[in-house]
Amino acid sequence: MGPALSLDKLTEEADIIFKGRAVSGGPVQDEWFKPYNGFIACQTEFKVVSVSKGEARSDKVMFRHYDQSPDPRGYWFQPQYYHFEAGSTYIVFAKRSGPDGVVRQLWMNHNSKRLLQKP
């Protein structure tokens, strides 16, 4: 794996980029998400504030992503995962997926090295 991707590369990969406020979220069934110990497929509802790329057909978008399981267990692998707090605002880069208003994370796995901070 190499260094973190540039904003230009993230923008190129995304079908939609939006700024949104997380409203609610929870587990979702979606065959795109492979099962991994310690992680679950989730869907977070966002109220759209603005769109930088692509089109939001309503003022809400459902973003599907991995998150850590609420009942964490040991794991040997971490997929690319996100955790959103209701009421907080985020910029989301996503791919279109399934029905209108549903998008998913850009990729399943990490594609850059994690930066480790020195003490």
The domain spans of the chain are 7-104
Residue whose pair of structure tokens reads 């690319």 in the numeric block: 80
Q: Is residue 27 scored above 60 in pLDDT?
A: yes
| pLDDT in the model for residue 3 | 63
**Mean pLDDT score across all residues of the chain:** 85
Q: What is the pLDDT of residues 60-108, one digit of tens each?
A: 999 999 998 887 676 667 788 899 999 999 999 999 987 788 999 987 6
* Helix (H), strand (E) at residue 7: helix 7-13
Biggest CA–CA distance in the chain, Å, is 46
Model-wide pTM > 0.85: no
| pLDDT in the model for residue 111 | 55
| pLDDT in the model for residue 96 | 92
CATH topology of domain 7-104: OB fold (Dihydrolipoamide Acetyltransferase, E2P) (2.40.50)
Pick the more confident residue, 20 or 118: 20
